[in-house]
């Protein structure tokens, strides 16, 4: 992929501000400048950023309906009513259900959980799920990571004598369901100061309020923060504000004392003994939790997350890992087929968006394929398959473009849709696909900016190898956890050369392992460039080139710094 490199050299004012901040916090001006680019300009703000404190979490009762939700939960417990914790089948939904169920189960036994079957019931609250609840004499359902659009389903639940507390983070419609309480920071009338919680985060705030109301010490909630870290990473929500606090302490919990279920997943992933990062969750832990709902039923993932016996958890994690292997095979095949369709459809190449349909694709994997297409072609993408009489699927977006608005513009020809800025689920009649494709593409064309359809790398600092010290790397670690709005800093070094020992590696000789020197120091830097073997010939030609990279720890040699190189360009090429 050809990347456009974006770099704005610092102004003299920014350089002066970085130097002043660096002296106050005892860090390199390079890192002080990274803080300033993140809007952190004072010593106190820097301290809060580097040491997120749990006592800085927002008062949960600032969320609309929180007092009503806590009162209804207290009433249910007081009256010994049957409670069901109901959630979506993805990572966010499964971790949210595990969090709420595990916490409440410590104080109340008349409680169960339910994850709808993706293939049999579809997304959100299902009539089948409600009938199951009624048969089991459930009087209160706490629904997590879905439910904000379930107007008709909740009317049906009322007829069955079932009350609902909705904990969701997806964008609501004008009409909201008639639930007892709706906890959602994206409500139009929301008074909650932080809008970017994931579904699990909303569930945590509910439990925080319940604990506060009932005099339960906050320390009882801390073990559950691991679920927040997993869901924040997997759901790709903003890594700022309250999410940063939850993720920071959740990651700490995951590293120091993970629950039995997550410990089993960590072992299956081969991550035991390593310091886990958000990247490990995104690429290793999250996909395995997700695989259960994609290939079979998400209930198995929750069973694992709440398991108390490690031997049983390991067996369950092994089973879920098999689902993940199956998912990889299906994903690979569907991605190849999607690419073939795009190659055949010349029009898809030139449009600002991609809409694909194949009735044989697996419903649980269309979201992954949509993400792959977005990464490959840098276009907002919708991937659809057949589900009964309807086409159902997922939309994924590129950085900075709100795909929810694009899908919403076609709502009159959709049966259902829901989601947020970067990810949307939708269903429509099969005969409406051509019209949806036309209108979706037209809307995207009219609203997307040219730079949003380019693969870009936003360089934060241009540095020399002599500036990459052990202290810089140790201080850089304090910027974690990373995610949207707090990405891993991208550095650029110009005029570097092969030390003479760089080589192509990998099963298919697709990567380059580099040893580099630059023109201003004698430091030899190790680096890895994944999937960039096409640059090997130029690298070995003894000519200079520029690199963009992140600074990482070599997992095989803990004391050694390694550059993860994102892109390589000949030095004479100017952007």
- pLDDT single digits (tens) 12-28: 999 999 999 999 999 99
> Is the dihedral angle over the CA atoms 241, 290, 204, 123 positive or is it negative?
positive
Please give the mean pLDDT across all residues of the chain: 93
Give the Cα separation of 288 and 321 in Å (integer): 6
Which contiguous run of DSSP H or E holds residue 391? strand 390-396
> Is the dihedral angle over the CA atoms 540, 548, 233, 329 positive or is it negative?
negative
Please give the pLDDT value at position 424: 92
Q: What percent of the chain has pLDDT over 70?
A: 97
pLDDT digits (tens, 9 = 90+) for 268-284: 999 999 899 999 999 99
Give 340's contacts (C-beta < 8 A, 6+ positions apart): none
CB atoms within 10 A of CB 575: 10
SS3 for 117-149 is CCCCCCCCCCHHHHHHHHHCCEEEEEEECCCCC
Are the C-beta atoms of 454 and 4 separated by less than 8 Å? yes
What CA–CA distances, in Å, run from 473 to 27, 264, 277?
11, 31, 15
Please give the pLDDT value at position 346: 57
Please give the pLDDT value at position 349: 57
Residue 497 bridge partners (DSSP): 517
pLDDT digits (tens, 9 = 90+) for 209-225: 999 999 999 999 999 99
Report the pLDDT averaged over residues 201-207: 98
Say yes or no to pLDDT of 157 above 90. Answer: yes
Are the C-beta atoms of 292 and 323 separated by less than 8 Å? yes
> What single string gives the DSSP state of each residue in 316-368?
HHHHHHHHHHHHHHHHHHHHHHHHHHHHH-HHHHHSSSEEEE-TTS-GGGHHH
Give the Cα separation of 422 and 452 in Å (integer): 13
For Cα atoms 37, 40, 45, give the angle at the middle one, nearest 5 degrees.
165
Q: What is the DSSP pairing of strand 354-357 with strand 381-387? A: parallel
Report the pLDDT averaged over residues 223-228: 98
What is the number of alpha carbons within 13 Å of residue 479 lying toward its C-beta?
28
Report the pLDDT averaged over residues 183-203: 97
Give the Cα separation of 545 and 10 in Å (integer): 23
Helix (H, G, I), strand (E, B) or coil at 284: helix
Say yes or no to pLDDT of 46 above 80. Answer: yes
pLDDT digits (tens, 9 = 90+) for 109-126: 999 999 998 888 888 899
Q: How confident is the model at residue 420 (pLDDT cuts 50, 70, 90)?
A: confident
Report the pLDDT averaged over residues 288-309: 90
Residue of 554 and 79 predicted with greater confidence: 79
Please give the pLDDT value at position 544: 93
Please give the pLDDT value at position 455: 87
Give 135's contacts (C-beta < 8 A, 6+ positions apart): none
Q: How confident is the model at residue 360 (pLDDT cuts 50, 70, 90)?
A: very high
pLDDT digits (tens, 9 = 90+) for 116-152: 988 888 888 999 999 999 999 999 999 999 999 999 9
Cβ contacts of 255-263, under 8 Å, gap ≥ 24: 257/223, 258/226, 259/102, 259/223, 259/226, 259/305, 260/307, 260/308, 260/309, 260/310, 260/313, 261/98, 261/304, 261/305, 261/306, 261/307, 261/313, 261/316, 261/317, 262/226, 262/230, 262/305, 263/310, 263/313
Q: How confident is the model at residue 293 (pLDDT cuts 50, 70, 90)?
A: confident
> What single string gives the DSSP state of each residue in 60-79?
GGGSTTHHHHHHHHHHHHHT
Please give the pLDDT value at position 62: 98
pLDDT digits (tens, 9 = 90+) for 461-500: 999 999 999 899 999 999 999 999 999 999 999 999 999 8
Closest CA to 313 of 255, 357, 263: 263
For Cα atoms 416, 422, 428, give the angle at the middle one, nearest 5 degrees.
20
């Amino acid at each position: 992929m050809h990347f456009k490199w974006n770099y704005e050299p610092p102004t003299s004012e920014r350089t002066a501000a970085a130097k002043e901040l660096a002296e106050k916090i005892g860090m390199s001006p390079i890192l002080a400048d990274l803080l300033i680019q993140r809007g952190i300009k004072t010593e106190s703000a820097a301290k809060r950023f580097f040491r997120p404190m749990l006592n800085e979490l927002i008062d949960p009762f600032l969320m609309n309906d929180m007092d009503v939700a806590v009162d209804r939960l207290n009433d249910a417990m007081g009256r010994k009513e049957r409670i069901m914790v109901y959630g979506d089948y993805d990572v966010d939904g499964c971790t949210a259900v595990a969090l709420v169920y595990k916490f409440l189960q410590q104080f109340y036994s008349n409680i169960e959980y339910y994850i709808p079957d993706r293939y049999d019931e579809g997304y959100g609250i299902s009539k089948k799920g409600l009938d199951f609840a009624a048969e089991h004499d459930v009087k209160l359902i706490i629904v997590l990571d879905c439910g904000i659009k379930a107007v008709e389903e909740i009317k049906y639940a009322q007829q069955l004598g079932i009350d609902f507390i909705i904990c969701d983070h997806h964008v609501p419609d004008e009409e909201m369901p008639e639930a007892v309480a709706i906890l959602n920071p994206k409500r139009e009338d929301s008074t909650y100061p932080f809008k970017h919680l994931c579904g699990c985060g909303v569930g945590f705030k509910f439990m925080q309020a319940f604990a506060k109301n009932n005099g339960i010490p906050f320390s009882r909630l801390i073990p559950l923060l691991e679920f927040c870290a997993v869901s924040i990473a997997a759901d790709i929500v903003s890594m700022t504000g309250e999410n940063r606090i939850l993720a920071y302490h959740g990651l700490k919990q995951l590293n120091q004392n993970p629950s039995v279920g997550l410990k089993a997943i960590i072992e299956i992933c081969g991550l035991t003994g390593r310091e886990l990062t958000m990247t490990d969750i995104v690429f290793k832990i999250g996909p395995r939790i997700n695989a259960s709902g994609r290939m079979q039923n998400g209930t198995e993932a929750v069973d694992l997350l709440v398991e108390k016996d490690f031997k049983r958890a390991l067996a369950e994690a092994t089973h879920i890992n098999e689902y993940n292997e199956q998912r990889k095979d299906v994903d690979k095949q569907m991605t190849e087929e999607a690419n073939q369709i795009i190659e055949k459809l010349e029009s898809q190449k030139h449009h600002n968006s991609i809409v694909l349909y194949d009735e044989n694709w697996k419903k649980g994997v269309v979201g992954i394929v949509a993400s792959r297409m977005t990464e490959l072609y840098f276009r907002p993408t919708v991937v659809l398959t057949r589900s009964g009489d309807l086409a159902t699927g997922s939309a994924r977006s590129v950085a900075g473009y709100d795909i929810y608005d694009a899908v919403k513009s076609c709502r009159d020809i959709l049966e259902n849709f829901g989601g947020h800025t970067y990810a949307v689920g939708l269903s429509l009649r099969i005969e409406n696909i051509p019209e949806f494709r036309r209108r979706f593409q037209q809307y995207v064309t009219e609203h997307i900016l040219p730079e949003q359809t380019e693969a870009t790398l936003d360089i934060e600092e241009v540095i020399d190898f002599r500036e990459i010290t052990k202290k810089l790397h140790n201080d850089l670690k304090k910027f974690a956890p990373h995610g949207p709005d707090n990405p891993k800093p991208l550095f650029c070094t110009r005029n570097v050369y092969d030390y003479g020992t760089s080589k192509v590696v990998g099963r298919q000789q697709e990567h380059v392992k580099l040893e580099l020197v630059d023109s201003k120091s004698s430091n030899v830097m190790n680096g890895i460039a994944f999937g960039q073997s096409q640059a090997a010939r130029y690298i070995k030609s003894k000519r200079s080139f520029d690199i963009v990279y992140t600074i990482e720890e070599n997992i095989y040699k803990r004391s050694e710094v390694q550059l993860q190189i994102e892109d390589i360009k000949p030095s004479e090429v100017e952007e």
